Structure 1
Amino acid sequence: MMCTGTFLKIFSPKFKLPVRRYTPRRALMYVPGDDTKKINKATSLEVDCIALDCEDGVAINRKEDARKTINQFLNDLKPDVIKGDLGIRVNSIDTGLCEEDLRSCLSAKNVPNTVLLPKVETTEDLDWIWLDISPLPNCQLYKKHCIKLLEAYSTETGSNSHTDSV
C-alpha cells in the first residue's frame, strides 16, 4: 500500500521548542489536562512526547477546567522545561467539543508542537481541522492527506470504523 502523504502539523511557538519534521516516538504519555500536579510531574520526565489530554483522560464535567489548566500551563511554560515534544489531544470532531479545545489551547502564548486528533474517520475530518486551525495566530501547519491509508482502512474493515491517529 502506498500512502500519498502524511498529516503533520508543526506549530511555530514564540520561543523555540524542539521542532522536527519527523520525530519517531517510542512513547507517548497522555496526561489529564485538568490535573496540574500530573502535568508538572510529566514535564520532569524524559518522555518522547507529552500529550496534554482534553479527551478520554478528562471527565465530561471537567472539560472546561482542562482547557483552562492547559492554557495557563502553556502561557507559563519556559522553553527548557520540556525534554521532548509537547502535544495536546483534543476531543473528536463528532463530540462538538473539539473546536473549543483548539481555540482554548492554541490561543496560549506558547503553542504545542503537535495536535492529536482522535477518531479520524474520513478525509473530511482532516479538511475540517485544517480549516479550523489555519486562521489561528502563531500557527504554521503542514498538511497532506493520507487518502490511500484512509481508503485502505475503510475497504479492509468494510465499515467506517475510526482510526485513533493519522
Structure 2
Amino acid sequence: MTSPLKPRRSVLYMPGSNARALEKAKTLDVDCLILDLEDAVAPDSKAMAREQIVSAVKGGGYGDREVVIRVNGLDTPWGEDDLKAAIEAGPDAVLVPKVNEPADLQRVAHKLVLGQAPASLKLWAMMETPLAMLNAAAIGACGRDPEVRLSCFVMGTNDLAKETRAQLNPGRAVMLPWLMTCLTAARAGGIDILDGVYNAFNDMEGFAAECAQGAEMGMDGKTLIHPKQIEACHEAFSPSEEEIAWARKINDLFDLPENANKGAIQVDGKMVERLHADMGLRAIAIADAIAARSKS
C-alpha cells in the first residue's frame, strides 16, 4: 500500500541548544522541523542540546509536523551518542550530515537496526560536499534499498559553497548544476529533495525569488532558518488553485469510458497525455495533504 504523500514545503532548522526555540516550534505553521545538534550547536553545548531535544521530542506537542533530528557525524566525538539519543527520542527521521557515499548511510542504518529503531524511523541525507556531488546517483539509489531507509535529500548549499570555493550569489548560477544533479539522483532513487537555505532572512524579495527558482527546478520544498520565511515558502511550493482545477479536470476526462484506452486527449485546445494526468494526481494529493494539515 502506497504511503500518503507528506507536504515538505517548509523545513525549519531549530537549534537544539535553544529550549525556547524548541517550544516555539510547536506553534509554527511549518511542515517539518529539523532539530539541530550539528552546525547550530557549539561543541560545549552538544550534550545539553542532546538532552533538550530528547526531552522535547518525547514530550510531544509537535502535532502533524514532521520532526527530524540532525545528528553529528559518526566520525565526531558526539555522533554515536547523538544517534542513540535520536533512537530514544523517536522522531520521524534522522538527518545525516556530510554524506559522501552510500557507505555513510549504510553505517548509520546498521546502527539503527542494532539500536532496535522502528522501521518507521527514516534517514535524510545532507548533500553538502564535493564527493556527494560526484556520488549523487549512488547515494540516491539508497532510496530503493529499504534497509537503508533513505527518504529525503537536503541540499547544504552553504557548506557546498565553502568546500568548492564557489560563490553563492543571487540566481545561484554556479550552484545550478549540482542542484539539478542531486534532484535527478533523488528522483531516480524515489525520494524527496529539499532546497538549501537562504541566508539573508530579512530579504523577503530575494527569498521569494529563490523559492520560485527551487519550485521551478522541481524541489519538494526548502530549508529555512527563520520563521518569517515560512509563508513565502508555502506560497511557492503549494500547488495553485488553477493547477489543482486543471489536474482534476483532465483526470475526470481520462476517467470517462470513451477515454479509457486513450493515451492522449484534447482539452481546451491542448493535447494532453496520460502522463500529465498522472502528474496532476500528485499535485492533487499534495494539495489534499496540505488541506488536511491545515484543518488539524
User: TM-score by structure 2 length?
Assistant: 0.40
Q: How does 1:1-166 map onto structure 2 within 5 Å?
A: 22-78=5-61, 81-108=62-89, 111-140=90-119, 153-154=133-134, 164=156
Please state how far the C-alpha of 1:155 moved relative to its aligned partner: 6.6
> Which moved further from structure 2: 128-137 or 92-101?
92-101
CA contact 1:47–1:83 (8 Å) conserved in 2: no
Please state how far the C-alpha of 1:72 moved relative to its aligned partner: 1.2
1:100-132 alpha-carbon deviations (Å, 9 max, x no partner): 101012213xx1111111110011101111111
Please tell me whether Structure 1 or Structure 2 has the larger radius of gyration of its CA atoms: 2
CA contact 1:88–1:116 (8 Å) conserved in 2: yes
Moved over 6 A (4+): none
Structure 2: how far apart are the matches of 1:41 and 1:131?
33
SS in structure 2 opposite 1:56?
A: coil
- Structure with more contact order per residue of length (Cα contacts < 8 Å, sep ≥ 6): 1
Structure 1: how far apart are the matches of 2:132 and 2:50?
35
Task: Evaluate the alpha carbon distance shift between residue 154 and residue 67 of structure 1 in structure 2; reply closer, same or farther with a 3 A threshold.
Answer: same
The one-letter code of the counterpart of 1:132 is: K
Task: Evaluate the alpha carbon distance shift between residue 47 and residue 128 of structure 1 in structure 2; reply closer, same or farther with a 3 A threshold.
Answer: same
1:43-97 alpha-carbon deviations (Å, 9 max, x no partner): 111101011100011111000001111111122214xx32421111111233242
Q: Which residue is equivalent to 1:160?
A: none
Structure 1: how far apart are the matches of 2:77 and 2:120?
22
The one-letter code of the counterpart of 1:77 is: G
User: Which blocks of at least 5 consecutive residues in structure 2 are unaligned?
Assistant: 137-154, 157-181, 187-296
The structure carrying a bigger helix percent of its residues is: 2
The one-letter code of the counterpart of 1:129 is: V
SS in structure 1 opposite 2:84?
A: helix
Please state how far the C-alpha of 1:154 moved relative to its aligned partner: 1.3
The one-letter code of the counterpart of 2:51 is: K
Identity %: 32
CA contact 1:43–1:83 (8 Å) conserved in 2: no
User: Which blocks of at least 5 consecutive residues in structure 1 are unaligned?
Assistant: 1-19, 157-162
Please state how far the C-alpha of 1:141 moved relative to its aligned partner: 5.3
Task: Evaluate the alpha carbon distance shift between residue 153 and residue 22 of structure 1 in structure 2; reply closer, same or farther with a 3 A threshold.
Answer: farther
Task: Give the aligned length.
Answer: 133
